[in-house]
């Protein structure tokens, strides 16, 4: 029965995928490309997140139903009930993984009881209460204003949608050693024969440093949240920064200064000395969480032949990156498959905060020398607003993320979840839409997963400046609570990113450390195997010595460097015109890739209106591939452009004739 289902899915995929305008003229692609497009394999398809896994999903029939829906695998964990301690739940998980092995599906392990990751569902603190996340808090009304206290009340630990419970300290070396032992080692002991084969990655979800107020959940939500650790209402909200026992020693070793003596500068003061202390402190904290949390997981995963993946918290709000992980880009660079969280299936989200959410992990992957990028994608925002999403919106949301380099689609779709479950009993529209979505993602990856993204503009990520500017507040952190300079820098950065994306300019974000370590290469800036034509600087930033030296050398060699309001987007487009569109349109997104010396363009209409125009491609004929229908057709070029017609919420792939030029 399993084989019959697999054959049926394969034939359906082939029948839907390789329609061409001229059956006697197949695309001149390598054979592997055509095969993958016609029948995308499991690793190219979405993975469904199935916590538990519950009910029938643990059986071979349940796993086959997921496969029949077009999925490539699951992201799963041992059941949250009696987390990590129930032999019955471990047996259930083992049976589910074995069923995936037999079905040829991929398995990722989700590393926490709900979220945020890092506490092993309370087992870390059970092992030693001293492992709890700590905050150095500041109460200006007291004679001695400083206190080190647990980071629980008024933090994400007590204000999230899953559970209110105390959290572990991600910069405490022993605490994180305990987390990996309680979590990753436990999976290894039970499932080691599947590692590197069926089990290919671990997923960490929204870990953070914790001592920051992200705001209170609404009462309607709080009533539904499980309270594991009661809150102490007498705990006063105070400005706070993360702390751990050896932080003062680490600070002294690195800077030959005493952070305890200078700690007031973390909360107040605008002298150069105050700003230097803050910059040094947050630089150290960013290094500690990158090494002790993200790096420890990455090292363990590599040793055990799986990839580390996951995503951080509040990616779209860069002022929050300081208190949550010190430097989000640095943290993501310590993942084998950097990831993002996309809570909305409105494709237009990319034109607002979505571009940053995706650019961070894509850039981390580029600078790591990797390719794969993960998204946890859902229609959460729409469900919270009691709105439905259409299949076209889901597909366009997948397409714009693919344009930003995403390859691994882990699905939290309530919609897709209902579709998948209905496959077991229905043979109607729900099944068709599930397969249509999964085939769509599979076709995107058939061409793009092995391709190299080719952004050519570096947008400077101003974390170095924000370290100096950031001042903790007791109330909910907002940009308006920060200095005028911080507001100027953040607003300029976000405006520049939106302008570039709306003008179809492909960008990567780069911090001061990566920029300072770059080299001048062939008239551009080289970071690893990537070459960039231009640097864009937000208004108000001050580059540190290493980055400033590189940028000055680039300018002296004739390189293009622009700042803030003086950025000429049209000039940015002209640096590499391939993929430019005419007429201009701010709701079309373009991703540029090279694979085996062929240029590939992914053109996505994220707006609600159709677009008709031309795409700059050069002089030779190209191939147009529709990931929705599977149709492939040869396209002649006139005047260096290919004419396209994109309905609302649709996308096409354009594949060049060879000898790629985008990179």
| Domain end marker among 515, 545, 575 | 575
Residues 558 and 521 in one domain: yes
pLDDT value of position 54: 58
Confidence grade of residue 600 (pLDDT, cut at 50, 70, 90) = very high
pLDDT value of position 512: 98
- 384-417 confidence digits (pLDDT tens): 899 999 999 999 999 999 999 999 999 999 777 7
* Complete edge-to-edge strand list for the sheet that includes strand 524-527: 519-521, 524-527, 530-532
Would the pLDDT of 13 be above 60?
Answer: no
pLDDT value of position 428: 64
Asked if the structure places residue 15 within a domain, the reply is no
Asked if the structure places residue 468 within a domain, the reply is yes
136-140 CB contacts, 8 Å cutoff, 24+ apart: 136/211, 136/240, 136/241, 136/242, 136/243, 136/263, 136/266, 137/211, 137/238, 137/239, 137/240, 138/238, 138/239, 138/240, 138/264, 138/266, 138/267, 138/268, 138/472, 139/236, 139/238, 140/267, 140/268
Residues 597 and 571 in one domain: no
Asked if the structure places residue 414 within a domain, the reply is no
Q: Average pLDDT of 18-39?
A: 78
Of the ranges 9-13, 92-96, 208-212, 635-639, which one carries the lowest mean pLDDT score? 9-13
Residues 539 and 473 in one domain: yes
pLDDT value of position 112: 98
- 277-327 confidence digits (pLDDT tens): 999 999 999 999 999 999 999 999 999 999 999 999 999 999 999 999 999
Confidence grade of residue 14 (pLDDT, cut at 50, 70, 90) = very low
Residues 571 and 463 in one domain: yes
| Domain end marker among 575, 609, 643 | 575
- 607-628 confidence digits (pLDDT tens): 999 999 999 998 889 999 999 9
What tokens does 23 get?
């059956």
pLDDT value of position 59: 79
612 is in which domain, residue-wise? 581-655
- 628-651 confidence digits (pLDDT tens): 999 999 999 999 999 999 999 999
CATH assignment at residue 634 = 2.60.40.1180
Q: How many CA atoms lie within 13 A of 625 on its CB side?
A: 31
Residues 539 and 597 in one domain: no
How many domains would you assign to the chain?
2
pLDDT mean across residues, the chain: 93
Confidence grade of residue 56 (pLDDT, cut at 50, 70, 90) = low
Asked if the structure places residue 565 within a domain, the reply is yes
Confidence grade of residue 245 (pLDDT, cut at 50, 70, 90) = very high
Confidence grade of residue 219 (pLDDT, cut at 50, 70, 90) = confident
pLDDT value of position 427: 58
Residues 480 and 527 in one domain: yes
Q: Average pLDDT of 66-86?
A: 95
Would the pLDDT of 660 be above 60?
Answer: no
Residues 491 and 595 in one domain: no
Asked if the structure places residue 518 within a domain, the reply is yes
Residues 586 and 566 in one domain: no
Nearest to 350 by CA among 647, 567, 611, 607: 607
| Domain end marker among 575, 597, 619 | 575
Residues 568 and 482 in one domain: yes
Asked if the structure places residue 213 within a domain, the reply is no
Residues 501 and 611 in one domain: no
Distance of CA 120 to the CA centre of its chain: 22
0.85 exceeded by pTM: yes
Asked if the structure places residue 636 within a domain, the reply is yes
Residues 612 and 523 in one domain: no
Residues 559 and 596 in one domain: no
How far is the C-alpha of 467 from the C-alpha of 604, rounded, in Å? Answer: 36
């Amino acid at each position: 029965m399993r084989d019959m289902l697999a054959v049926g899915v394969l034939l359906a995929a082939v029948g839907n995928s390789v329609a061409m305008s001229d059956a006697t003229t197949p695309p001149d692609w390598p054979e592997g490309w055509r095969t993958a497009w016609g029948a995308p394999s499991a690793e190219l398809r979405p993975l469904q997140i199935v916590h538990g896994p519950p009910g029938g999903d643990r059986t071979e029939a349940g796993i086959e139903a997921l496969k029949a829906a077009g999925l490539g695998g699951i992201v799963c964990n041992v059941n949250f009930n009696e987390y990590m301690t129930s032999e019955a739940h471990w047996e259930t998980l083992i049976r589910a993984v074995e069923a995936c092995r037999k079905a040829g599906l991929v398995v990722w392990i989700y590393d926490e009881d709900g979220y945020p990751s890092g506490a092993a569902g309370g087992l870390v603190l059970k092992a030693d209460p001293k492992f709890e996340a700590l905050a150095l808090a500041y109460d200006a009304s007291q004679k001695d204003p400083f206190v080190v206290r647990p980071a629980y009340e008024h933090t994400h630990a007590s204000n999230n949608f899953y559970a209110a419970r105390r959290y572990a300290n991600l910069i405490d070396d022993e605490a994180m050693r305990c987390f990996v032992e309680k979590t990753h080692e436990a999976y290894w002991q039970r499932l080691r024969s599947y590692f590197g084969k069926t089990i290919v990655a671990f997923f960490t979800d929204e870990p953070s440093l914790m001592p920051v107020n992200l705001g209170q959940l609404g009462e309607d939500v709080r009533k539904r949240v499980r309270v594991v650790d009661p809150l102490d209402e007498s705990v006063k909200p105070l400005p706070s920064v993360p702390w751990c026992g050896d932080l003062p020693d680490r600070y002294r070793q690195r800077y030959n200064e005493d952070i305890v003596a200078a700690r007031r500068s973390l909360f107040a003061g605008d002298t150069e000395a105050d700003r230097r202390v803050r910059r040094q402190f947050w630089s150290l904290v960013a290094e500690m969480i990158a090494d002790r949390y993200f790096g420890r997981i990455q090292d363990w995963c590599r040793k055990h032949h799986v990839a580390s993946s996951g995503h951080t918290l509040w990616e779209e709000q860069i002022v929050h990156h300081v208190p949550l992980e010190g430097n989000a880009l640095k943290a993501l660079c310590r993942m084998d498959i950097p990831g993002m969280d996309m809570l909305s299936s409105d494709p237009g989200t990319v034109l607002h905060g979505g571009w940053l959410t995706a650019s961070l992990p894509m850039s981390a992957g580029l600078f790591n020398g990797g390719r794969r990028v993960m998204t946890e994608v859902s229609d959460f925002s729409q469900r919270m607003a009691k709105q439905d999403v259409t299949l076209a919106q889901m597909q366009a949301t997948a397409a714009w993320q693919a344009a930003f380099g995403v390859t691994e689609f882990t699905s939290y779709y309530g919609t897709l979840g209902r579709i998948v479950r209905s496959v077991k009993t229905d043979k109607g529209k729900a099944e068709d839409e599930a397969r249509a979505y999964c085939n769509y993602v599979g076709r995107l990856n058939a061409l793009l997963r092995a391709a190299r993204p080719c952004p050519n503009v570096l947008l400077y990520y101003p974390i170095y400046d924000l370290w100096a500017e950031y001042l903790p507040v007791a109330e909910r952190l907002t940009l308006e609570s920060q200095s005028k300079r911080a507001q100027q820098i953040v607003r300029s950065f976000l405006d520049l990113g939106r302008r570039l994306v709306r003008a179809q300019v492909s960008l990567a974000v780069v911090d001061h450390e990566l920029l300072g370590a770059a080299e001048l290469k062939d008239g551009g800036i080289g970071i690893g195997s990537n070459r960039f034509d231009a640097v864009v600087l937000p208004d108000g930033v001050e580059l540190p010595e290493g980055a400033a030296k590189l940028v000055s050398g680039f300018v002296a060699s004739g390189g293009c460097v622009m700042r803030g309001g003086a950025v000429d987007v049209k000039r940015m487009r002209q640096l590499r015109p391939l993929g430019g569109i005419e007429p201009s349109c701010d709701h079309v997104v373009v991703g540029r890739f090279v694979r085996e010396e062929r240029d590939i363009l992914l053109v996505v209409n994220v707006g609600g209106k159709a677009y008709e125009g031309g795409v700059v491609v050069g002089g030779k004929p190209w191939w147009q591939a529709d990931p929705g229908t599977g149709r492939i057709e040869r396209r002649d070029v006139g005047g260096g452009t290919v004419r396209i017609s994109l309905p609302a919420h649709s996308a096409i792939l354009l594949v060049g004739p060879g000898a790629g030029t985008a990179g």
